[in-house]
Amino acid sequence: MGIFRIFHNGKIATNSKPYFAEAIAVEDGKISSVGRNPEVLRLKNSDTETIDLRGQTVIPGLNDSHLHIIRGGLHFNLELRWDGVPSLADALRMLKEQAARTPAPQWVRVVGGWNEFQFAERRMPTLEEINAVAPETPVFVLHLYDRAFLNAAALRAVGYTKDTPNPPGGEIQRDKQGNPTGMLIARPNAGVLYSTLAKGPVLPFEDQLISTRHFMREMNRLGVTSAIDAGGGFQNYPDDYGVITELHRRNQMTVRVAYNLFTQRPKHELDDFKRWTGSTKLHQGDSTFRLNGAGEMLVFSAADFEDFLEPRPDLNRVLESELEAVIRHLAAAHWPFRLHATYNESIERFLNVFEKVNADIPFNGMHWFLDHAETISDRNIERVVALSGGIAVQHRMAYQGEYFVDRYGADAARRTPPIRRMLDLGCPVGAGTDATRVASFNPFVSLYWLVTGKTVGGLELYPEKNRLTREEALRLYTQGSSWFSTEDGAKGGLYEGQMADFAVLTNDYFKIPAEEIKNLESQLTVVGGEVVHANHDFQSLAPPPLPAALDWAPTAHYGGYHRVDATAARPLIHHCEGHPHGTPNRQKLGEAIWGLGCDCFAF
C-alpha cells in the first residue's frame, strides 16, 4: 500500500527532535515520514492525497488522562453546558430559553464544567432566580461536587418532601417549616447529588448513540483524539457500556478510549473485580477501544472526596483491610489500577497498603497510578516512583482553587498539585480534566492552567517554579498521558511509527499570549490519518454530518463549550430561515450547530 496522505506546509510540533517539522506522511494510520516539505513531498505518488496546512500550527492529538467520556456521551445532548459562559445573566437566559423548549417529562440539566468565578457577576445563581426563569420544567444545576440546585418542579419530580430523610453523606436543605428548599449539599460526599441526578429521564438507546457521537465530535473540535475513561458513579459494567461498544462495532468512534472498571457496590468491591478479571481480558479490544484496568473507585472506604468547602474527610478505619484485599487480587492478575486520591494524608495510607502488597507481589510494569494528588508530599511522590507508579493530574484546582485558598491559605495552594516536583523526581505524569461533572472538558483550559497557574476566575495559584512551559504542558497532555493506558511509545508524538493523530489549531499555541490559550480549538482533527473534524480554513475536508440531536436538545441550540463567536444557535437559525435552503428541519439544525452543513453554518 502506498502513502495514504501527506500533510505539508505546517508548523508541526513533533514531541521529538527536531521539535518542529513542516510535513508528515501517513500510511496505514501511522506516520511513515516527517521532515521538511521537499523531502516528504518527494515521496508522493499518483494515489497520494496532499493537504496544505496553510502554515498553521499542528500538535499531536490531545489525550485526556482522566475523562468520563463514556458517561458524558450518554447524557451530552441532555445537558445545558455553562462551560465558558462569561456571565450569570447569559447562563440564566440560556436556562430560561431551554426550559421553555424542553418537553415533559424531561429535565433541564446543568451538570458541571462551570463555577461562579468565571461569571462577570462573580456569584452563583439563587434558587429564586432559577425558579423565576423555569417555573414549570424540572431544573437540576450541579455546582462542582458540593451542591445542586433543584427548582420546585424538580423537587416534585424527585419526590423530596418534608418527610424525606437526609441520605447518608448528604443534606437536603430545609426552610424553617422543614420543607426542602431545593438545595442539596454534599456533606461529606456527593452521593446525594449522584443519586438525585440519576432520577431524571434518560435518552433511548439510539439517541444515546447520537449523543455520544456528538460529544466525541465536540472533543475533536477541541483537539482531543484519545481519552482514558475513569468510570464513574452509576456507570455499571457491562450494562452502561452498550452504547460505546456498539459505536466501536460500527466503526463510528472518533476518540480513542481506554476504559477502567469502577466498582459500584460498597462492601462487594472485591467480588466485582474477581468477576471482571475472570470474564474479561486486560487490554481486550484494539487501539480505538480497549480495557485499561481497574478504578478509579477500588473500595468505597478509600473514597478521598475533594470538596474544599468541607474539611478533609477522615477515611474509615477499615480502609486498609478492604483496599489490601482488592490490590492483592489485582496485582496477582497483573491488572493496572487507578485510585482517586486528593489529600496527602489519604495517600500515605494508600501507599502503606501498596508497599505491603508489592513486597509479596511486585508491581513492576503494571502502570498503576494515582489520580489528582493535589496535596501529595515529596516523600510520597518518591514512594510512588519506587513502586513504578504514576500520577494523573487534572485542572480541578482551576475550578476550586479559590475555595482551597480560603480554607488552607495561599501558601498551601502554591503546590496543589506539585507537578514540577513530580517531574523532577522522575514520576510519570499525564494531564487531563476530570470532566464532565466538575471541571470542563476543554483541554485548552487545562493547558492554560498548567502554563499560567491561574484559575478560570483569574486567581494566580502557583509561582513560576510550579508552572510548566508550553512544550512541557503539551507533552504531559500527549506523550505523558499515553503511559497511563500502557501505550507509551505508540502515540503522543508526530514522528515515524506513531499513530497519525493530530490537531491543526486556530492559532499558534506556542506564541499567542498565555491568556489566549484557553480560547484555542482545532480547525482540523485527524485520527489514524482520517479527518474526524474540520471547519474554518479546512471546511471542505469535513466528514459527513452527524445525525442531528433532538430538536429540543440543549446542544442543538448552544453546542458544547461556549464559543466566543457563536454562543447560541438562535442567530444561526434565523440566518438559515432566510437562506435559499429554506426553513431548517432537524437535520439542517444539526448541521448548523456542528458546523457541517452549508457554508452559512460554518463557524
The whole-angstrom separation of Cα 160 and Cα 174 is 11
All structural domains of the chain? 5-55+501-534 (2.30.40.10), 67-197 (3.10.310.70)
DSSP strand pairing (522-527 vs 530-534): antiparallel
**Average pLDDT per block of 10 residues along the chain, 603 residues long:** 84 97 98 98 95 98 98 98 98 98 98 97 98 98 96 98 93 97 91 94 97 98 98 93 98 98 96 98 98 97 89 93 98 98 97 98 96 98 98 98 97 97 98 96 98 98 97 98 97 98 98 98 98 97 97 97 58 32 36 35 25
CA dist 334 and 365 (Å) reads 9
Angle between helices 269-279 and 319-332 (to 10 degrees): 10
Query: What one-letter code names the amino acid at 168?
Result: P
Given a contact cutoff of 8 angstroms between Cβ atoms, the answer to whether 523 and 538 are in contact is: yes
Give the residue carrying C-alpha cell 478479571.
277
Q: Could you tell me if 433 and 448 are in contact, meaning their C-beta atoms sit under 8 angstroms apart?
A: no
For residue 81, what are the CA distances in angstroms to 70, 131, 143, 440, 441? 17, 18, 12, 9, 11
Strands lying side by side in the sheet with 30-35: 30-35, 23-27, 5-8, 49-52
User: Which residues, 6+ apart, have CB-to-CB distance to 263 below 8 Å?
Assistant: 269, 272, 273, 297, 298, 299, 300
* Burial of 414 from C-beta contacts in 10 A (0-12 / 13-18 / 19+): middle
- Residue 128 β-bridge partners: none
